[in-house]
A and B are shown apart, each in its own frame.
Chain A
Amino acid sequence: MSSLRPTHPKEVQEAVRSHPRLLPRGGGSKPALSTPRERQVALELIGLSGVLEYNPGEYVVVARAGTPLSELEALLKAHGQYLPFDPPFARQGATLGGTVAAGLSGPMRNRYGGVRDFILGVEFVDGLGNLVRGGGKVVKNAAGFDLPKLMVGSLGRLGVLTELAFKVFPYPKATATLEVAFPNLGEALEALYRLAASPIELYALDLVPPSRLVLRLGGLPEALSPRLERLERFLNQQGERLQGEAEEAYWEGVNDLGRLGEGYLVKVALTPRRIPTLEARLGAAPRRYMSAGHLLYLAWNEPLEALDEALRAEGLPGLVLRGVVANPRIGLNLEGPFGLKVTAALDPQGRFERYAAPN
């Protein structure tokens, strides 16, 4: 199978115009989404890399879509800032473009929001080979259709991302993690609900089945230990505290979702209300619920059809990130004519993979 390696948006335009079937690919950290299928040409974007604009005082960064997360994050870290949606697979070579196209956020999205909440601007090549910009490079903007948000989770279907602008925030000056075990899922969920509705500001609020909560606090160092104490009082129980390098290392480990376990790796969007019945269907599959029960990542070693069925039964959509699949979209499909029409508007000739909606 051939592949193309553009280093400039113009070359992306040429590639799109001259190939009837393309699949854009970044760092390859989510192989289920970036492995070309029959007759598809891989469009390698790793050569379209580099930070274009960054003034820390603006809280805005603009970079080429093929820029590795690790490179951007290192730059931000040097200025005490970070991508608050906490994109996963940073050390596995994930790129900005791949993260946006897959629509992935990590545990720290709990504090300020996910990738859709931080994307400000986008430049992409549509299915006609036109270079299109949407959004802007300022933190507030209401001009024109919100194409940047449209691209989140689009899986390359609406165009090839070439440039992205994000809002960034100061990284907390200190962080600490509290791990709390509960006797059962019910009590853990009850605590999760109480925490999520409380004014306690958690950078991460993860549920690790069967019944553990992992909570991350961040802020000024002088306030951290009274806040940890308050947190324990709020929960009416003590937890295991993690601080310093061990704490950073723990979350770096979580960031590599691949470490969850072998087999398919799947993202599920949900609400905490679904967790009790879903839990009963997932058996021993290693998994972690993030952002107060709105985001599930799980590793799946059984036939994928079984998971697909479980998700449908719960009315939930899922996305396979790793594993060989014909269609990475599983579970409930909410797609209607609106999406089909928009897709046809941006890619009238069907150059990009549309992942026929699961039935």
Chain B
Amino acid sequence: MTPALRELEALFPRGLLRQPGELVAYESDALTAFRARPLAVVLPESHEEVAAAVRWCQKHRIPYVARGSGTSLSGGSLPVEGGLVIGLNRMNKLLRLDPKERIAVVQPGFINLQVSLAAAPYSLYYAPDPSSQPVSTIGGNLAFNSGGAHCLKYGMTSNHVLGARVVLPDGETALLGSESLEGIGPDWLGLFVGSEGLLGIATEVTLRLLPRPEAYHTVLAAYDTLEKAGEAVAAVVASGLLPGAMEIMDSLAIEAAEAAVGAGYPREARALLIVELEGETPQVEAEARHLERVIRDSGAYEVRVAQSEAERMKIWKGRKAAFSAVGRLSPDYIVQDGVVPRSKLGQALAEIERLSERYGLRVANVFHAGDGNLHPLILYNGRVAGELERAEELAGEILKLCVALGGSITGEHGVGMEKRAYMPVMFTPADLEAMRRIRRAIDPLELANRGKMFPGSEAKPLSHGPHPLEKAGVIARE
């Protein structure tokens, strides 16, 4: 063992993982196309331990990644080959919940859904609801600015994080934001949220809680074409309504969701639209009448309204399980996360269908229609030679399409490992250079989550060869 590792062992007498059987489990997050073996994993239990781990990395120039539940779909929590994984899932406490001020202060390993469960007795909840919410941690949500089904109306994680205590890449501590919804001076916290772990590690996060809406009105409409469902969304928007969520699933996604959770969706539908109104009862009742007219005129052949909370949850369960459920249809898949302007949805879907045919790969579509966030799921079989490459190429085509239509390469999954090559499609060299300058100002050695977000970085994720530091004799893995 090298002196550096002995030092690390002294810092983490419990909570240091070094054995192959331990490290294997950390090689991937939810994007298994990428794997990298870390040098070690540490499981800190306090802010001070996180700072100690970061300072150790700084001292020995070892790159690192902070990891929560490892549910990133962009490879954001993929280890840096030969680097350190700082696993934060043991820092999973709710530190404070103040129902009067409507805030919750949590450690980064606290699970998203648990925030709402803890707040439920006060009729409050935490709004961002990524599909991974029963699993994903607030720390990871913060790093990747997670979204969910309700972003049009309520925004993303960034809009619900008020403050954070962070360990900067030099090991120092910074407090960003406050408990107020307002701020004075540049919004440093706004920059930090969504920075994909490149600017530091949050160890305490102050979240804003919202009052739980008094009433929900959830409508499930079935269509015989995807276009009609897309047009229905445009019609809802044009009517001046502002639903909390509008979601569309195509037939392949319906099939998967039905197989997984038996949500009771009309199986033969070519497209399903979920629209959810929420708010004060008299207002929702009035809006529901307007919505009914809009949906009726949109050519839906079947319309269901959830009559109880149980029915509502069932509708959502199918939608939320849809991604993982696709595992039932195909051994492998790539989830994409592009965004297009809502008015270009139809065009984008038609183009994706064309690409799907051209590449000979099935594509299931699940998307947040209200905010134009597409989630094409590209199905492939990794055991068939060349299919992964074809799938990746198809995914790239879809991303370029999204940018060409005026959108974004990622709505909520982040750039991570997966989409860094497409950053230049969306940003000019000057844009990327400005971001890089910020990154280097905070982390001159580029140790924090090295190899993510920026194109052409140094990490080689698919190889298992010796780390450059290993070759140089700085580290060893005996």
Give A residues with C-beta under 8 Å from B: 55, 57-60, 80, 103, 105, 109, 112-114, 116-117, 126, 130-134, 136-155, 157-158, 169-170, 173, 193, 196-201, 219-220, 222-223, 226-227, 230, 267-273, 291, 294-295, 317-319, 329, 331, 333-339, 341-346
Contacts and interface: CB of A to CB of B under 8 A. Distances in A.
B430 A131 contact: yes
Interchain residue pairs A-B with the least CB separation, the first 7: A149-B190, A345-B441, A269-B182, A199-B214, A317-B184, A223-B286, A154-B186
Nearest to A220: B286
A145 B195 contact: yes
B99 A153 contact: no
Interface string B333-376: 00000011111000000000000000000000000100111000
Contact of B280 (A200, A271, A273): A200
Contacts of B317: none
A120 to B, nearest CB: 10
A166 to B, nearest CB: 13
A222 B155 CA distance: 28
B220 interface: no
Nearest to B200: A338
Contact of A226 (B144, B175, B182, B282): B282
A199 B185 contact: no
Given A140-B156, A150-B188, A345-B440, A132 B431 contact: yes
Contact of B290 (A196, A220, A318): A220
Contacts of A223: 280, 282-283, 285-286
A289 to B, nearest CB: 11
B372 A138 contact: yes
B431 A146 contact: no
Given A169-B242, A338-B176, A344-B441, A59 B101 contact: no
Given A152-B187, A334-B175, A338-B174, A295 B237 contact: no
16 contacts: A138-B341, A140-B156, A140-B368, A141-B339, A142-B144, A142-B410, A144-B431, A146-B158, A150-B190, A199-B123, A268-B184, A272-B101, A338-B168, A342-B186, A342-B191, A343-B186
B437 interface: yes
A137 B343 CA distance: 13
B437 A345 contact: yes
B282 A227 contact: yes
A338 B178 CA distance: 15
Interface string B361-394: 0000000100111000000000000000000000
Interface in B167-222: 168, 172, 174-176, 178-188, 190-195, 200, 211-214
Contact of A138 (B185, B290, B371): B371
Interface stretch (B34-42, B146-154, B247-255, B458-466): B146-154
Interface string B260-287: 0000000000000000000110110111
A87 B399 CA distance: 35
Nearest to B211: A199
B17 interface: no
Nearest to B181: A294
Contacts of B433: 130
B211 A138 contact: no
Contacts of B194: 142, 145-146
B242 A149 contact: no
B63 interface: no
Contact of B341 (A137, A143, A335): A137
A140 B411 contact: yes
Given A295-B182, A345-B437, 16 more contacts: A103-B185, A103-B187, A105-B182, A130-B433, A133-B431, A137-B341, A138-B408, A141-B339, A142-B156, A145-B438, A196-B211, A227-B283, A230-B282, A318-B184, A338-B188, A341-B441
A59 B246 CA distance: 14
B442 interface: yes
A114 B177 CA distance: 14
Nearest to B185: A153
Main secondary structure of the interface of A (DSSP, over half): mixed
In this complex, which of B212, B407, B431 has the most chain A Cβ atoms within 10 angstroms of its Cβ? B431
A105 B155 CA distance: 17
A131 B432 CA distance: 11
Contacts, number: 280
Contact of A269 (B159, B183, B285, B340): B183
Contacts of A153: 183-187
B176 A57 contact: no
A170 B242 CA distance: 7
A144 B453 contact: yes
B240 interface: yes
A338 B202 CA distance: 13
B293 interface: no
Interface of B: 99-102, 122-124, 144-145, 147, 151-153, 155-156, 158-159, 166, 168, 172, 174-176, 178-188, 190-195, 200, 211-214, 234, 237-238, 240-242, 279-280, 282-283, 285-287, 290, 339-343, 368, 371-373, 406-415, 419, 423, 426-428, 430-435, 437-442, 453
Nearest to A267: B184
B191 A146 contact: yes
B427 A144 contact: yes
Contacts of B176: 338
Nearest to B146: A142
A339 B442 CA distance: 9
B341 A269 contact: no
A120 B343 CA distance: 17
Contact of A339 (B186, B283, B432, B453): B186
Given A151-B186, A199-B280, A227-B283, A336 B174 contact: yes
A183 B107 CA distance: 41
B191 A57 contact: no
Nearest to A341: B441
A338 B191 CA distance: 11
Contact of B412 (A142, A226, A335): A142
A245 to B, nearest CB: 21
Given A145-B191, A337-B174, A139 B423 contact: no
Nearest to B191: A150
B280 A227 contact: yes
Contacts of A132: 430-431, 434
Contacts of B241: 170
A147 to B, nearest CB: 7
Given A142-B412, A291-B182, A149 B158 contact: yes
A334 B189 CA distance: 12
Contacts of B408: 136, 138, 140-143
Contacts of B174: 336-338
Contacts of B342: 57-59
B181 A295 contact: yes
Nearest to A103: B183
B420 to A, nearest CB: 10
In this complex, which of A59, A155, A200 has the most chain B Cβ atoms within 10 angstroms of its Cβ? A59
In this complex, which of B188, B192, B193 has the most chain A Cβ atoms within 10 angstroms of its Cβ? B188
Given A142-B144, A150-B186, A219-B286, A291 B438 contact: no
A346 B186 CA distance: 13
Contacts of A197: 99-100, 102, 122-124, 211
